[in-house]
Amino acid sequence: MGERDVEVNEPIKVLIVDDAPTVRAMLSRGLSEEADIAVVGEAKDPYEAREQIIQCRPNVIILDIEMPRMDGLTFLRKLQTHYPVPVIMCSGVASANSQAALKAIELGAIDFVAKPASGGSMALRRLGEDLADKVRAAVIAMPVPPQIPPATVNQRRTLRSVGLNPAHYLVAIGASTGGTEAIKDVLSQVPEDFPPVVIVQHMPVGFTKSFAERLNQYSAMTVTEAVDGDTLEPGRALVARGDAQMTVSRIGNQLRIVYGSDERVNRHCPSVGVLFDSVAEQVGGRAVGVLLTGMGADGAQGLLNMQERGAMTIGQSRESCVVYGMPKVAAELGAVQQAVAPGNVSNAVIGALQSRIKETAVR
């Protein structure tokens, strides 16, 4: 849908659908300071929302998951048939709700936001910034590209079968809008003996544990939410928590996860850039950086720093991105050595590591 019929210089029209008046009010207030965004309607349930859609013709819909008469996932399916507009889900952080939010992304929602816990000025300001970024990303998001069919076990190359020791390497992945599905596509294709993987996906606190559990269902690797002090080992993928900066540090002979402050970097906590910078410093040429779909520039400079320290670098291809933002900036900086779709990242990593060994042997 491209630009979603948004006229130049006209604000992005947003409809908020939530059965709680306080939540509707906080979401509306959170967006009220954004000159390029206008809340044009509010609805307490999908039936009321249908009337608002006819009247307001919103460019983006913010949709609650749990509502009376019709739940958000059911309404999302109906929207995709009758009014295919970008949708941002609004979810509580309880496990069942966070799983439903991830399911909504699988069904075609662009992103999700955590329900505001309070109406304090700092919370509202942060909510407004986050939600505004998501709305802007949603309105330019491309339709979700067709998924690559999963490879069979026999088709997947293991590292040891091609003479590579996975314990010698580390793969760092960063993503934002559209990244939950892109990361799933990456990890569903990796072999069991893949190098350790560290992941930053821009995501509210309370969702990362459910996200890791969901990824674990699709991957030959063991995927968990990262815990401070976790050891990085082959066959294991660790997802950063949503409330602290995650880095990699060499402690003795082992690489471990270290959590730091909750300060935002590049407007994000956790930040892809913070992770990538630590990997560049601690791992250097034995690392692979992968920057996937997302709005903005977080991770682009970090990917360049990794490359300058000898790491191999991969960016998601333009045509496979929901939002070609972060990998685009990285490519413009000259930080992307290969551009591939998420389902091809595993083969790209293994191929790059093989080439590195051959180059070293020739020298």
Buried b (16+ CB within 10 A) or exposed e, 44-64: bbbeebbebbeebebbbbbbb
- Annotated catalytic, 176? yes
The length of the chain in residues reads 363
In terms of Cβ atoms closer than 10 Å to its own Cβ (0-12, 13-18, 19+), residue 321 is buried
* DSSP per residue, 249-266: EEETTEEEEEE-----BT
Kindly name the residue from 45, 133, 202, 230 that is annotated as catalytic.
202
CA atoms of 132 and 190, how far apart (whole Å): 34
- The catalytic residue among 64, 133, 185, 298 is 298
> Quick check: is 268 catalytic?
no
CA distance 184 to 210: 13
Report helix, strand or coil for 247: strand
- The amino acid present at 225, given as its one-letter code, is E
- Determine the residue type at 147: Q
Q: Which residues of 101-110 are buried (b: 16+ CB within 10 A; e: fewer)?
A: bbebbeebbb
Give the whole-angstrom CA distance, residue 210 versus residue 168: 29
DSSP string computed for 267-306 = TBSS-HHHHHHHHHHHTGGGEEEEE-SBSS-TTHHHHHHH
Distance CA 313, CA 345 (A): 11
Q: Which of 176, 188, 210, 271 is catalytic?
A: 176
Residues belonging to the active site: 176, 202, 298
